[in-house]
Amino acid sequence: MSEIIDGLYAYRFKGFAQDNCSITNFLVGVGTLRIEAQTVKESDHRATYLRLTGGAKQPADGHFTVTGNIDWHADDCRGSATLIFSQLDVAVGLGQVLTGNFAVVQASEREYWLTSYGGADVRYGARPPVKATELVEGELRWISA
């Protein structure tokens, strides 16, 4: 268990995020992504969030692509990742781009656990990025080469 394995992964996550208006949301998501030489490529990500402020607000869905890098420390089976979630299926210039940082540990030969740290930068369309506070955890499971 010393190198992160190149290949196609299924992943899932859940957690909380607070936007710049101090509205707390619960998030869940699943997807697939390909890792090659510690670079995240060819991804498809689906997520749903629910505002926790009441008012009968319905859950909202999102479709994203994920790119990024993993800085892997082979000597102790851990690392960090920077992942960029870019929203699809919205008008050009209106989508959300979220850049998040994650701690990564190897849980088994082909499974990795992640937890967010350091907050996230969120940009909506052409507006400047803002900080969003999030606490998200998830797992990656290798499914094929």
Average pLDDT over residues 116-121: 84
Residue with tokens 């082909």: 110
Tokens of 104: 């990564």
Domain region containing 105: 7-144
Please tell me the pTM assigned to this model.
0.91
Sequence-distant (6+) residues with CB within 8 A of 54 are none
Number of domains in the chain: 1
Tokens of 2: 């010393």
Interval 13-64: pLDDT, tens: 999 988 666 778 899 999 999 999 999 998 999 999 998 887 778 899 999 9
Q: Does residue 111 belong to any structural domain of this protein?
A: yes
Q: Does residue 38 belong to any structural domain of this protein?
A: yes
Cα–Cα distance for residue pair 48/136, rounded to 1 Å = 13
Residue with tokens 């930068």: 121
Q: Does residue 1 belong to any structural domain of this protein?
A: no
Q: Does residue 21 belong to any structural domain of this protein?
A: yes
Per-residue burial over 70-89, b if 16 or more Cβ lie within 10 Å, else e, is bebeeeebebbbebbbbbee
Mean residue pLDDT of the chain comes to 91
- The CATH number for 139's domain is 2.40.160.20
Instruction: Please report the pLDDT score of residue 54 as a whole number.
Output: 74
Average pLDDT over residues 80-92: 92
Answer whether residue 96 shows pLDDT above 70.
yes
End-to-end CA distance of the chain: 17
